[in-house]
Chains A and B, each alone.
Chain A
Amino acid sequence: MEFFQQTYTALRGPTGVQQTPEDTITRLSDRLSPSTLLADRRAAVLSLKGLARAHKQLVGVHALQGLLGIIQNDADVDPDIGRAAIETVVILCDTVDDSYTERDLGLEHTDKLLEDEKTAHKLFALLGDQDHFLRYSACVLLITVLQNRPQRVQAYFLKAPVGPAPVIAVLEGEKEIVGQAIAMLTALIRQSTEIQKILAFDGIFEKLFSVVTREGGLEGQSVVTDALKCVDTLLRFNTSNQSYFRETNLPTLLCRLLFFDPNIQPDQVVPQEFALQFWNEDKATNAGLILEAIGLLLGPKGAGLREGYTFTRLLVEMALASNAPTTVKVKCLRLLPPAAVALLPDMILTPYMPVPDTNGEEWDRLEAATGIDALLELIMHGEYNGQDAVRRQKESVDLRATAVGVFEHFLRDDHVKEAIISGLLPPEDAGIPAHSPVTPLLFGLIIPPNSLLDRSSVSSVQFAAVLFAHLLRHAPYCKDLARKIIPRPLTLLPSSTADGAFFVPADGEPPPPSEPPSKDDSEDAPQNLLAVLTEHLSLAFLQRSRAELAPRDAREADRVICAYLSLLAQWLWEDPRAVREFLEAGGLGVLVEQLNQPSEIDVVVPGLCAFLLGVCYEFNREPGEVTRVTMHSILTRLGADVLVGRMNRMREDERIKVVGPDSWVLPCPTPGPQALDPAFTPMYDGETEIWFDWAFVDFWKANNHTIQRGIVADPDSASSSTAQSGEESILVASLRGVIAKQAAEIEALQNKLKELTATSLATAETAASEASQSAAKSTEERVTLEAALEAERSKRTEVEKEQEDLLVLLDELSSKRAKDKERMKEQGMEVSEDEDDEEEDGEEED
């Protein structure tokens, strides 16, 4: 009651005097000064709050300073007054308003608030206050000023004495405040790498993810989405934060949030818990954000990381073997790093198919397939084996187109292309007529055009042509091999093969033919793929020319014709032998007939025909039935200028113009100046179409000019394309690479040689000196040895001499003894023949 009375008195003023708003506001503002009692101040603030919206300017002029003072001094003591003051300032600084003046006022007030750092610092401090409502309102005011003057607030934040801790701590608060806190953080980190880093340092990632888990993981609603968007901002352009993030165990958490086992081993099967999940729109958005984070951490190189394999596996599994929404799958394929594609052939996936009419509640598990097979299957037939392919919805065509991009990365290595093409050749030992194994790719290429009114087949032909062009473009060896492909006539195909069992392109293992070729077939000489395509092109034109063709079917036929023409143009480019085969198969007639009576409305098909004819003329360098001279006269008759004009007009068509490296799925019908047929309407809402991929458009733009010049050239003139053809420049580039590599090698070898020579010289020197040393030593030794030997010898002679003397002495003695014996005998004494003699001798002598 007291409050109302006071307010009333304040509003009324002295009795009987007419009040103006200015008087009232001035009076209320005066009461904000610290000298007033707290209760009165509180009443004044509440009154001002009521007036702020209607009298934004007056309240701003008179009261803003006082309110800021209250925030500064009273908020800690009395949360209520703090909260009321802050809420009033929020109204004053608000710029979300229709009128310009109000908006300018909001900015003006914001500038006043941010004149010095005091209020901002206080607000950051209040985020850590005990009072829930105070925290909440401080958060709201910070959001407001951050929206108005982000850089100033960010600069103050970096100097805030309380530091980043309270800003992060609000994330632990109640549910209502967490939403505001995330909005505030999102504004605070925008475009400020420094703040992003300091918050990461203080653990914002962990806090944000704990919000995510607390709010129910990916199935949580907008709070989770906002938190994940915040994570994205913290990581996207911040390498320092990315490396910090990798260091934490949060990458593991990213996997777990998607129910993916982060410790999965290559030989383990991914459990159903991951493959078949419950999905709704929120979850798809949130999962998309998690996948973006994974893509950021993987980077372009990706696979080298600690979690590289897990992340790659997750992306592949989700894209090719899960029930994730198609948009999520597109994201997975788009984020797959080019280097990681090499892992595809070794990954074993178990794809799933929804059981029809169960509204996605029951799923069939299909046979296991390698990642690359599953990818090709997806491109050729569409998601879930083409269940919805006829509708050509944006996301499902996008998915196939993105898969083509992944396949293109897979083909980076020429050997892979060769291996795949070799896998399409007829087995060598099968005798004649041997047919190529029917793979989904080849099957897609050779679907005969009379069955082409089937919309999903048309898409298959288009994608098959794009894939096959990727295999052949600027790959002369692959083109040579491709001419040996002998497709089995489709009438003989067992129907089960047509449903598209998986095939292994790299291993080239053909699905075993379940029916032997029939006898009728052997009468015709088997046609190679190029001839089949030529024939189908002709059939497609025939189909197209039927008068009763509905506009929709006519457009389908045009798509197929464009697919054939673009593939042939890339195949025949710089391949004279293929040109000859094409001409001999009747290709010339088909093209000339079309150019003779071109469509009045369409510019693309005649333009492509002229281009292909030009390619044939340019590269018709092999002797054959149709010579350049023959062709030249036809070109003259058609009029070279007319043909050049047709090629140029094609440039204007939207279907060529809007194609970019990542965008070749176009809305149907593609908007543009030339509507194909006014009667045409798409069959389904939101239908999309494809005509050409970027690789073809790029090829066509690069070579269009060469062909235009070639068409007017004399039949005897040499090929003019040699100067700047793509193939040549690639060759030159690769040769340059080889030369550079060799030069480097030579240099390295020379250096090594120098080094070796140096060392060998050194060794030789040391060896020589050693040798001389040892020689000197040995001579020395020899001298000493000789001396020793001499000494030894002289010693020996001495000893010998001595021995001789002794022998002589002995001889003398024995002769003397013999004499003595004789004398003793003579004297009749007994003489032994033995030693006794001596004794006797001795006795005698005694």
Chain B
Amino acid sequence: MAGPSWNYVLKFIITGDAGVGKSSLLVRLTDQRFLANPDPTLGVEFGSKLITIPEEDNKVVKLQCWDTAGTESFRSITRSYYRGAAGCLLVYDVTSRPSFEHARTWLADVRTHADPHLTCILVGNKSDLSLERRQVSTEEGERWAQEEGLLFVEASAKSGDNVEAAFEKAARDILIKIRRGVFDDDRSPGVKSSNPAGAITLDQRKATGQTCCGS
């Protein structure tokens, strides 16, 4: 039980329509496996992963991801998570136009409830499926993301393609924001540094076990 081996903890949420593969993306990220037939997620499940961002001094970031329920009836709950998150994966299914169109309302939700500095990345999932089944082209997704000022990537939880990249891209963006001082220590519940200034000190002795790598 050594001290933390990370520089930052970033809270992420994954949101989007039911069935677009949110749970699968999370399982792919944390367990490197594909969830073939997941139950519709009831509520929110949790997973975490350490990633290194070479572009930002090889900082180690612990991603804590909450997988939200896409089902409409849980939507009010999901909103509560936006407030505390530093990053958001807004997921749609490239073989389902409705899921892409609903992304607008999800984004509106995020914009209403989340921290204004939240980093949002639009993820077109199921990119492994054949071109005939595709209903949303890469260009279209990219265009919309650009209009809305979102990051964008197409990924596949099944093949694992671009999944880690999506999280990395978002994490990198957040680190850049941190470096620019966008988040001040107390005001960003989704970001925690390994040498927290205003954080609670549970035990004085604990501090010695920690690495101090804050920027």
Contact = CB atoms under 8 A, between A and B. Distances in A.
Interface of A: 158-159, 163-165, 193-194, 197-198, 201-203, 206-207, 209-210, 213, 240-241, 243-244, 247, 249, 251-253, 255-256, 262-263, 306-307, 310
Contact of B1 (A198, A201, A251): A251
Contacts of A253: 202-203, 206
A210 B206 CA distance: 13
A206 B11 contact: no
Contact of B80 (A198, A252, A310): A198
Interface string B24-53: 000000000000000000011111100000
B84 interface: yes
Contacts, number: 78
18 contacts: A158-B76, A165-B83, A193-B43, A194-B43, A197-B46, A201-B11, A202-B83, A202-B84, A213-B203, A240-B46, A243-B46, A243-B48, A247-B64, A249-B4, A249-B206, A256-B203, A306-B1, A310-B1
Task: Say which size band chain B's interface belongs to.
Answer: 20 to 34
A207 B48 contact: no
Interface in B11-28: 11
B189 interface: yes
A240 B45 contact: yes
Contacts of B46: 197, 240-241, 243-244, 247
Given A163-B80, A307-B1, A210 B202 contact: yes
Nearest to B74: A194
B3 interface: yes
Most buried by B among A197, A206, A262: A197
B188 to A, nearest CB: 12
Please provide the 5 A-B residue pairs with the shortest distance between their CB atoms, ordered closest to farther.
A262-B1, A210-B200, A240-B46, A159-B76, A244-B46
A194 B4 CA distance: 28
Contacts of B100: none
Contacts of B44: 194, 197-198, 201, 240
B39 to A, nearest CB: 14
A241 to B, nearest CB: 8
Contacts of A243: 46-48
B76 A206 contact: no
Instruction: Select the residue from A201, A213, A243, A310 with max chain B CB neighbours within 10 A.
Output: A201
Contact of B202 (A165, A206, A306): A206
Contacts of B66: 197, 201
A219 to B, nearest CB: 15
Contact of B77 (A194, A263, A310): A194
A428 B26 CA distance: 62
B180 interface: no
Given A206-B200, A240-B44, A263-B1, A252 B76 contact: no
A165 B66 CA distance: 17
Contacts of A158: 76-77, 80
Interface-central residue, A194, A202, A262, by most chain B CB under 10 Å = A194
Contacts of A255: 1
Contacts of B203: 213, 253, 256
A198 B85 CA distance: 11
Nearest to B76: A159
Nearest to A241: B46
B206 A198 contact: no
B3 to A, nearest CB: 7
Contacts of B206: 249, 252-253, 256
Contacts of A206: 200, 202
Interface in B68-88: 74, 76-77, 79-81, 83-84
Contacts of A251: 1
B133 interface: no
Given A194-B74, A247-B48, A306-B1, 15 more contacts: A158-B80, A163-B80, A163-B84, A198-B81, A201-B11, A201-B81, A201-B84, A206-B200, A206-B202, A210-B202, A240-B44, A241-B46, A255-B1, A256-B206, A307-B1
B92 to A, nearest CB: 24
Given A240-B45, A243-B46, A247-B64, A163 B202 contact: no
Given A163-B80, A253-B203, A255-B1, A197 B43 contact: yes
Contacts of A201: 11, 44, 66, 81, 84
Contact of A207 (B76, B189, B200, B205): B200
B1 A213 contact: no
B2 interface: yes
A251 B3 CA distance: 11
Contact of A202 (B76, B189, B209): B189
Nearest to A246: B48
A252 B77 contact: no
Nearest to A242: B46
Nearest to B43: A194
A193 B42 CA distance: 10
Contacts of A213: 202-203
A824 to B, nearest CB: 104
